[in-house]
Every structure is written in C-alpha cells, then in structure tokens.
Amino acid sequence: MGPDFDRVEAAIREVAAVEILPRFQKLSAADMHEKQPGQLVTIADTEAERRLTPMLESLMPGSVVVGEEGVAEDAARLGWVASEPLVWLVDPVDGTQNFAESKPVFATMVALLRGGHAVAGWIYDPVSGRMAMAEEGSGAFLDDARLKTAAAVPLPRMRGRLTSRAAKRIGDRVGPHFYFRCAGHEYVALARGDAEFGLFRRLYPWDHAPGELLFREAGGFSARLDGSSYQPSEVEASLLLAPDRESWAALRALVLELAT
C-alpha cells in the first residue's frame, strides 16, 4: 500500500509555509553556520526537517526519515537507506547556499523508498508554489501537467547540467550548459525538456532519489557511469541522464574520454 499523496504534498507545503518562506531573505548571521567546511546549514533547514519528520513517519507506519540534517548529526542514519524497509528521504532546503544568499533557487525534496528503491518523489519550489511529483510506473507531473523529457539530438547540440569543473573538461564538446546549485531545480528542468542531459557526482540520496525518479518517469534514461542502475544507497558514484540509451552511451564515452 502506498502513501496518501495528497497528504504528503500538504505536509511539504505546510512545512515550507511555516519554516522556510518566512525566513527567506531574513536570515541573520546567527541563523546559519557551516556544519562542515564549505557546507552551510540554516535554521530553515533544521527546523523544516524537524517539523516534517514526524508528519511523514505518521503517514506510513513503520517508516523512518533519513534527512540531510539528521545524517549530519548522526552519520549512521545513512545506513538506513539500505537496511530499513520504508524510508522517507528529506532534503528540507536543497540549494541552501542560494537560500542564504537570498536567491530564489531552492527546493524541498522528498522521496519514498521501499526496500531501498525509490517508488515516489516530490520536488517543491516554495517561491513559485509549484510541485513536481513522480510515482513509479505512473509518470511524472509538474502540478497537473505531465512532464516529458527532451528528444535526442546530436552530441554537439545537447544542452545539459554540468558543474563548473565538469564544464571545463567537456563544455566545448556539447551544447549550452547550466548549473543552478540546486539539484531540485536542475532535475525539474531536465524532466520538462529544458535540456537533454545531466551529469551528477557525489550522490547523496536526498539530493538525487526524487529527481532521478522524476526524470525516468518523464521518459528519460539514467544510469551510473559504470552502466549500472542508480541506487540511493550508493553515494560514491556518478550519475548520467540522457534522453535515451543511445544518447547516454555517446555522452558516457565523451565523459570517460575526457576524464583520462
């Protein structure tokens, strides 16, 4: 039995309205700190996750939440992704750096894992109020509109998501590329066909399980660079998204060629 999707969406929207949006563009220095060098956390991150955790767990008896901030406090919780039968993944404020800089490019991301496999995902933009959602086998949607990934095009014309570092290596071999510093916004852009491909590294599950499912359910093809399927429990890997298997193979060859 799956979750009540309306109640999941309502919980995400409520937490964003209470804990995130009131703090946007109003943070003080005391409201943020580095949990690790270069990794910022704000009071909106911690309070949103604290409020959302019991709300989600109450919707699915026996489920547990693995959230970005909870793992920062207790790294052992990351092991629940593979060991627990029902897991909610939560990134309360994806794009924290943008949020802290008062830039409206951040999202709340949630996924439901059953046996370590993503079966549903949500990406919410608190600023616009738009909700992207995917259920395995049922498609992907942005509000009420079905999402469809871009059609395949030749490699030099393929638009994509690349970090600045990756763009220095392969940027001139493909089309225009972007990097929003917010995986939630990047995955939605890919799922609605704004670009053809995305390359992601360091696959923390709360950052990627919701978006990878959204992209696949919108019709795209995804796999790790070694050709295996994406697994939310595997952090130290790279994920490549493309319109189809053939495009993915061409991109993979390019990535591997320029990585050597």
Domain boundaries of the chain, sorted by first residue: 5-146, 155-259
DSSP secondary structure string, 73-96?
Answer: H-GGGGGHHHH-SEEEEEEEEESH
In angstroms, what CA-CA distances link 186 with 52, 79, 161, 182? 23, 26, 7, 6
Phi, psi at 204, each rounded to 5°: -60, 135
Annotate 95-137 with three-state secondary structure: CHHHHHCCCCCCEEEEEEEECCEEEEEEEEECCCCEEEEEECC
Q: What is the pLDDT of residue 260?
A: 59
The low-confidence residues of the chain, meaning pLDDT below 50, are none
In angstroms, what CA-CA distances link 31 with 17, 25, 100? 18, 12, 9
Closest to 71 (Cα-Cα) out of 51, 105, 45, 96:
45
DSSP state of 31: G
Q: What is the pLDDT of residue 36?
A: 81
Contact status, residue 79 vs residue 86, Cβ threshold 8 Å: no
**pLDDT tens profile 148-167:** 999 999 999 999 999 988 88
Pick the CATH number of 5-146 from 3.30.540.10, 3.20.20.450, 3.30.750.24, 3.30.70.260: 3.30.540.10
CATH number of 155-259: 3.40.190.80
Give the up-direction half-sphere exposure of residue 131: CA atoms within 13 A in the CB hemisphere. 17
Give the up-direction half-sphere exposure of residue 127: CA atoms within 13 A in the CB hemisphere. 15
**pLDDT tens profile 202-257:** 999 999 999 999 999 999 999 999 999 999 999 999 999 999 999 999 999 999 99
